[in-house]
Amino acid sequence: MNPEKNLKNVLIILTGGTISMKAKGSMGVVPSSELADLLNEFPQLNSVANIDVMEYLNLPSPYITPQMMLELAKLIDLQIVDYDGVVITHGTDTLEETAFLCDLVLTTRKPVVFTAAMRSGSDIGLDGPRNIIGAVRVASHHDSTDKGVLVVMNDEIHTARDVVKFDTGKVDAFRSVDYGPLGSVDPDTIVYHRSTLFRESVWTDKLDTAVDLIKAVAGMDERHIRCSVETGAKAIVIEAFGRGNLPSSLVEEIRNALKKNILVVICSRCYTGRVLSEYGYEGGGKHLEDMGCLLAGDLKGAKARLKLMALFGKYNDPDVVRRFFLQGRD
Ligand code: ASP
């Protein structure tokens, strides 16, 4: 760090992803170690904040596990004491999960901002440098305090809870599909358009990863649920149809899971909206809730899974987890 008066102090933690990758001939796009050097010599960055760069990981984000997400959160908690904000670069594929888990477990009110790139260092029209500058500007801005973990991509600011990777390749791949972005990274300033009324936290230093996620498809049978039950799942998240409905062919195995005190949590495989206790036919959302399943509101399946891992890591008691999972929902 080269401290300049009045500039905020921001730590950038590198974890890998396309933003740290380059094309290497027939090998395709692979991790490279040049990002840290580039950032240290990035003049536009040093005029935005006093920067330190930590090369923590250099992994494609499909390799990132929930345990690694938790370790990263612990690192952020430790480091942020010495900084005004922290920016994390990450692969886009699992970014929304890492950002959400960090959002659940972090206690800091200081800005923590994830960013990434859709284009590698060898592509024309790089989005990585612009996203990093945007993320550092957001992390240095006074209005970013106490907003939970943020994600900055393509000049937009999203909350970790709302954001999803929506597109496989475009630079505007990240969207807050239900409610829209929280704000914008404009050339002259950072603008917040709205605030979030609903935030959730699980302050734990342990995860229990015995939580499965199953997606409903037309005509499916009970094998996947049975497999989860027989292999020790403590909770099963099911991405059901529409408002949270399933075929009746799954009901018996769900009942069996509930009898064994395994939590069954219903999300929707739709892109937006909440699940609801509406349909009373066998397997409908109301019927499932009456049986003892939990409805996850608007929380997406992958994030509900992480929240359950955090809750089981903290409480290890299905009844307590059930209570805390529903907190803020009724
Ligand atoms: N596969 C890459 C990753 O998630 C994609 C990316 O970073 O955009 O690491």
69-119: pLDDT as tens digits: 999 999 999 999 999 999 999 999 999 999 999 999 999 999 999 999 999
DSSP helix/strand/coil, 255: helix
Cβ–Cβ under 8 Å, residues 193 and 182 = yes
The type of residue at 99 is A
Q: Which residues line ligand 1 (CB under 6 A)?
A: 17-18, 60-61, 91-93, 116, 118
For the domain spanning 9-192, the CATH number is 3.40.50.1170
Query: What is the identity of the amino acid at 301?
Result: G
Residues recorded for the chain:
330
Q: Which residues pair with 11 in a beta bridge?
A: 52, 86
User: Rounded distance, CA 211 to CA 223, Å?
Assistant: 16
CA of 194 to the centre of ligand 1 (A): 29
Domain formed by 211-327, architecture: 3-Layer(aba) Sandwich (3.40)
Check residue 198 and give its pLDDT. 86
Ligand 1 atom nearest residue 16's Cα: 9
d(CA 203, CA 213): 22
**Residue 95 DSSP class:** H
**Where does the pLDDT of residue 3 fall: very low under 50, low under 70, confident under 90, or very high at 90 and above?**
low
Residue 2 has pLDDT above 70, yes or no: no
> Which residue has tokens 């066998």?
282
- Over the stretch 210-229, which tens digit does the pLDDT of each residue have? 999 999 999 999 999 999 99
Q: Which residues are catalytic?
A: 18
Ligand 1 atom nearest the C-alpha of 21 is 7
Give the confidence band of 35 by pLDDT, cuts at 50, 70, 90.
confident
Q: Residue 189 burial by CB count (10 A; 0-12/13-18/19+): exposed, middle or buried?
A: exposed
Evaluate whether 309 touches 66 at the Cβ level (below 8 Å).
yes
For CATH 3.40.50.40, the residue range(s) in the chain are 211-327
Q: Are the beta carbons of 91 and 114 closer than 8 angstroms?
A: no
Sign of the dihedral defined by the CA atoms of residues 263, 266, 271, 276, in that order = negative
Q: Which segments within 29-111 are labelled E, that is strand?
A: 29-31, 50-59, 85-89
**What number of CA atoms fall less than 13 Å from residue 10's CA on the CB side?**
34
The answer, yes or no, to whether residue 182 has pLDDT greater than 70, is yes
Secondary structure tally for the chain: helices H, strands E: 10, 16
Of all helices (H) and strands (E), which one includes residue 286?
Answer: helix 285-291
- pLDDT tens across 139-172, in order? 999 999 999 999 999 999 999 999 999 999 999 9
| pLDDT band for position 38 (cuts 50, 70, 90) | confident
- The alpha carbon of 291 and the centre of ligand 1 are apart by a number of angstroms equal to 40
Cite the residue boundaries of each domain of the chain with CATH code 3.40.50.1170.
9-192
Of all atoms in ligand 1, which is nearest to the CA of residue 118?
8
What residue ranges in the chain does DSSP mark as E strands? 9-16, 21-23, 29-31, 50-59, 85-89, 112-115, 150-153, 156-159, 163-165, 174-176, 183-185, 190-192, 211-215, 235-240, 263-268, 294-295
User: Ligand 1 mean position to 304 CA, how many Å?
Assistant: 22
Read off the pLDDT band of 34 (50, 70, 90).
Answer: confident
Cα 22 to ligand 1 centre (Å): 12
Atom 7 of ligand 1, nearest CA residue = 91
Which of the listed residues 21, 93, 118 should we mutate to test ligand 1's pocket, taking the one with most ligand atoms within 8 A of CB?
93
How far does residue 17's CA lie from ligand 1's centre (Å)? 4
pLDDT band at residue 1 under the 50/70/90 scheme: low
Nearest atom within ligand 1 for CA of residue 90: 7
